[in-house]
Structure 1
Amino acid sequence: MDLKKILPILFMFLTFNFYAQSDNFKDKKEQIRAMKVAFFTTELDLTPSEAEKFWPIYNTFDDRQFELRHQKMKGYFKRMQGDNLDKLSEKEASALLDQIQDNEEDLYNLRKKFMINIKDVLPATKILKLKKAEEDFNRKLLQQYKDKGSNR
C-alpha cells in the first residue's frame, strides 16, 4: 500500500484521537483550519481573485468531507471497538460494511464534484499544487502529532 492511500487513513485516525482527547474539539479544528489556510495560501500562490472564489468552494468541500469522514465514520468505529465485532451477526457486519462502502463512495463523489467546481476557478497547474499541498499538509500535521506524542 503506498503512502497516498495510507495518509488519509492516518489523518482520519489522528483526527479521531484529537476528538477523543479534547473537550475543545472545535478549537482544535479551527486551529487546523487556520494552519491549512496559511499553508495553502503559501503553496498555491493564489491571486486575490482566485482566493476570493477558491476559499468558499474549498471550505464547503472541506466541511462536507469532515462530516463524512468523522461524523459518520465515528459511528462505524464505535461499533467496531472492544468485543463489539465479535457480537455482530453476519447480517449486521454485512450492513456495516455496506454503510462504510457507501460513505467511501460519497467521499469519492464529493472529491469528484469538488474537482469539477474548482476547475472553473483555478488553472490545472494550481489544482495539481493543491493536491500536493493537501498531501504535504497532512504529512506535516501527522509529523507534528508524532513529535507531540514523543514529548509526553
Structure 2
Amino acid sequence: MKKIILIVVLFMSLHISAQHKNRERIKSLKVSFITEKLDLTEQEAQQFWPIYNEYEKQYYAIRYIESREIRKEIRESLDTLNDKKANALLARLEKAEVEKHNARMEFSKQLSKILSPKKIILLKIAEDDFKKKMLEEYKKRKKEDH
C-alpha cells in the first residue's frame, strides 16, 4: 500500500513539475514573441517587462482564480440556485469584469509613459497573435495524438 501511495505521489509530482516547465516554456516563448513584434529597445524592455509581468499576475488572479471560484460555485449550486444567490453571483461576475477592465486601463496608462501609442497597439495585436499561435499548436498536437 505504501508503494502505491509513493508511486502516486511521485507521478503527481512529475506531472506538476512538467506543467510548471511547460508554463515556463510558454512564458519564455511569449516574451520572445512580444519582444520581437514590438521591437523593444533595451531601455524599453527594462521598463516594460516588470510592468507587463505585474499586470499579467493581477489579471490572472482576477480572470482565473476569482472567475474560476465563481463558476465552480455556480455549477455546484445550479440546481438549488434561487434569485437572491443568482444575483449575488452575477454581481461578483460583474465586479470581476470591472476589475479586469480597470487593470487593463491602468496597464495602458503605465505603458503610455514608456511606449509609443503604436507599440501599445502592436502589443495588443502581438498578444492576440500569440494566443492564436498557441491555440493552433494545441490543436495540431491534439490531432497528432489521435
- What TM-score comes out, normalization by structure 2 length? 0.82
2:102 partner amino acid = N
Asked if the contact 2:33/2:130 (under 8 Å) is kept, the reply is yes
1:138 aligns with 2:126: no
Correspondence 1:29 to 2:12: no
Distance 1:27 1:96, change over 3 A: farther
Percent identity between the two aligned chains? 35
2:47 matched residue in structure 1 = 53
| Higher alpha-carbon Rg | 2
Structure 2 runs not aligned, ≥5 long: 1-14
Query: Which position in structure 1 is the counterpart of 2:113?
Result: 120
Q: Give the deviation of 1:85 after TM superposition.
A: 1.3
- Which structure features the higher share of helix residues? 2
Root-mean-square deviation (CA, aligned residues, Å) is: 1.5
Q: How many residue pairs align between the two structures?
A: 130
TM-aligned CA deviation for residue 151 of structure 1: 2.2
Aligned residue number for residue 97 of structure 1:
90
Q: Contact 2:74–2:89 (CA<8 Å) still a contact in 1?
A: no
CA distance in structure 1 between the partners assigned to 2:57 and 2:63 by the alignment: 10
Deviating above 6 A after TM superposition, structure 1's stretches of 4 or more consecutive aligned residues are none
The normalised TM-score by structure 1 is 0.79
Structure 1: stretches of 5+ with no match in the other structure = 1-21
